[in-house]
Amino acid sequence: MAGQSDAELSLFSAEELEFIAEDEIVDIVPNLKMGPLNFISGDFGPFIPQIVAQVPLWLAVALKKRGKCSICPPQWMSVGELPFFSSLSIFSFQS
């Protein structure tokens, strides 16, 4: 993205982008058995050990900090996808 380094051209600030990204749904692998969690943004769970569950990033990070789950990296972060995203970033800096 050409406008990411120039603050005047950016549509959102870094803080706003972080806030938006926290609602992204990610996969986690829980380490404990727990019933569903009810939040304003929705219900997540139940959580069963070693069974993948989908939660928002903010909840995944909170559970990870407490040692209650591990976060599965998204498919686009796999080694197989690296050449594709590397070529995109090179292309965006040239334009």
Q: Total structural domains in the chain?
A: 1
Q: What per-residue confidence (pLDDT) applies to 9?
A: 56
Evaluate whether 77 touches 70 at the Cβ level (below 8 Å): no
CATH of residue 45: 3.40.5.50
**Predicted TM-score (pTM) of this structure:** 0.75
b/e string for 26-43 if b means 16 or more Cβ within 10 A?
Answer: bbbebbeebeeeeeeeee
Q: What is the pLDDT of residue 2?
A: 46
Does residue 41 belong to any structural domain of this protein?
A: yes
Let me know if residue 29 belongs to a domain.
yes
Residue pLDDT tens, the chain, 95 long: 444 455 555 788 989 989 999 999 999 999 999 999 999 999 999 999 999 999 999 999 999 999 999 999 988 778 888 788 777 766 555 55
Range of the domain at 47: 24-94
Query: What's the pLDDT score for residue 71?
Result: 97
